[in-house]
Copies of this chain bind each other. A is one copy, B any other.
């Protein structure tokens, strides 16, 4: 009758279930998608067959047939940074509850890798894409747009960008931290920021703090601004440089909490008491911030919430075929133990 081609993993297919149940594949399919009302008897037969055979549908084949969304993609710089890891995990949970898979890949902050990942994910059939931030070569967004794939950027919200964004205003957050520093009496500070190359979060944070100090009449010199990778050791070295150039600095604004942790650690090694002799501020409020001594004064962001909002925005866009709606996420300053007025 049927010459079944032998294949390695002998998968149980819809057809097998149909045969077993003595119905057509269409009927089994209908059962699976509980479309039409099937006859109770039929339902029972199908259920028994599925049970007996241990059948489960091939989601890729289904996606091919329906062309309905089954996977979304998230491309983040690195999973090592807890903020992205948490955000993406929240996205995943949210989507999974709606039967959609999230494919997550990372770029290690390399825009070429990011482009490559976009291509891969698109080739793998993701229905929508989340990227981090707005700074990247034009071709990346062009590629996504040309393939008509809904997307949003996240962790950054810039009025000047015309990407759909689910993020927060990094510039403004840094600016407010600046006002806090100035309010506490700091006039001469150093900056240890992330590498700004193709990283708008790092860029905005540095510009925000500088703009604030400039606006208040205390412009920050270029050589008081250092960029380093997001590693504590690099930040430690940066602190040494800053202090060598300007021993009279009273505070260090750090581009994120990891950098702040590194600076804090080095300050301690040098016998500098924080915050008595030197204030240090962070950014992101990762779990680490509350474990350090003193606890970090930093900027709190609802990373999980942001992930969920991104998931929802993409989901809505994909389901309703609407454009992705932007959303600005609020931040807040957590004033803890590393900021104090200078002597």
Interface residues of A (CB under 8 A from B): 5, 7-11, 54, 56-61, 63-64, 67, 70-71, 78-80, 82, 85-86, 88-89, 92, 96, 101, 103-106, 119-120, 122-125, 146-149, 231-232, 258, 261-262, 264-265, 268, 287-288, 290-293, 321
In Å, the complex CA distance between A148 and B8 comes to 7
In Å, the complex CA distance between A92 and B291 comes to 30
In Å, the complex CA distance between A203 and B101 comes to 32
Task: Say how far A323's CB is from chain B's closest CB, in angstroms.
Answer: 10
Identical copies of this chain, number = 2
Contact of A148 among B5, B60, B67, B119 (CB under 8 A): B5
In Å, the complex CA distance between A190 and B104 comes to 40
Task: Say how far A50's CB is from chain B's closest CB, in angstroms.
Answer: 13
Q: Inside 8 A of A8's CB, which chain B residues have their CB? A: 67, 148, 321
In contact, B149 and A9 (Cβ under 8 angstroms): yes
Q: Which residue of B lies closest to A57 (CB)?
A: B123
Contacts A89-B106, A101-B103 known; A119 to B291 CB distance under 8 Å?
Answer: no
In contact, A85 and B92 (Cβ under 8 angstroms): no
In contact, B106 and A92 (Cβ under 8 angstroms): yes
Task: Say how far A310's CB is from chain B's closest CB, in angstroms.
Answer: 16
Task: Say how far A136's CB is from chain B's closest CB, in angstroms.
Answer: 19
In contact, B92 and A86 (Cβ under 8 angstroms): no
In Å, the complex CA distance between A160 and B334 comes to 49
In contact, A232 and B290 (Cβ under 8 angstroms): yes
Can you spell out 17 A-B residue pairs with CB atoms less than 8 angstroms apart? A7-B321, A10-B148, A56-B119, A56-B122, A60-B60, A60-B124, A61-B64, A79-B79, A80-B82, A80-B86, A80-B287, A85-B85, A101-B120, A232-B287, A265-B290, A265-B293, A293-B293
